């Protein structure tokens, strides 16, 4: 069962080749889930801190081309925006 607030990403990777920013969407969503599930632990900020700035959630340009191909119909752009906001 999904924890409330987490997203049902199956890491199928269908979305990845559709992202003009070349974000590793499934990895970011996995970190988002971890962050939500733990109520804001240190793992996600640490993992994101190790990424170059242009691969972090705030690098999403909200184009939604990933969402057109996601079988789980995850609103990826909104999730990444929320992730960036949670991390300040």
Under rule CB under 6 A, residue 10 binds ligand SF4: yes
Selected from 5, 17, 21, 43, the binder of ligand SF4 by CB under 6 A is 21
Site for ligand SF4 in 24-83 (CB under 6 A): 25-26, 29, 60-66, 69-72, 74, 76-77, 80
CB of residue 41 vs ligand SF4: minimum separation in angstroms? 21
Tell me which DSSP letter residue 66 carries.
T
Window contacting ligand SF4 (CB under 6 A); options: 23-31, 32-40, 46-54: 23-31
Q: Can you list the alpha helix ranges (DSSP code H) found in the chain?
A: 25-37, 43-49, 76-87
66: Cβ contacts below 8 Å, ≥ 6 apart: 15, 16, 18, 19, 25, 76, 77
């Amino acid at each position: 069962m999904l924890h409330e607030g987490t997203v049902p990403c199956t890491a199928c990777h269908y979305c990845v080749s559709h992202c003009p920013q070349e974000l590793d969407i499934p990895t970011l969503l996995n970190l988002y889930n971890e962050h939500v599930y733990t109520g804001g632990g240190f793992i996600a900020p640490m993992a994101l801190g190790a990424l170059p700035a242009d691969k972090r959630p705030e690098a999403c340009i909200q184009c939604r081309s990933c969402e057109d191909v996601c079988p789980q119909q995850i609103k990826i752009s909104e999730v990444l925006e929320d992730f960036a906001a949670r991390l300040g």
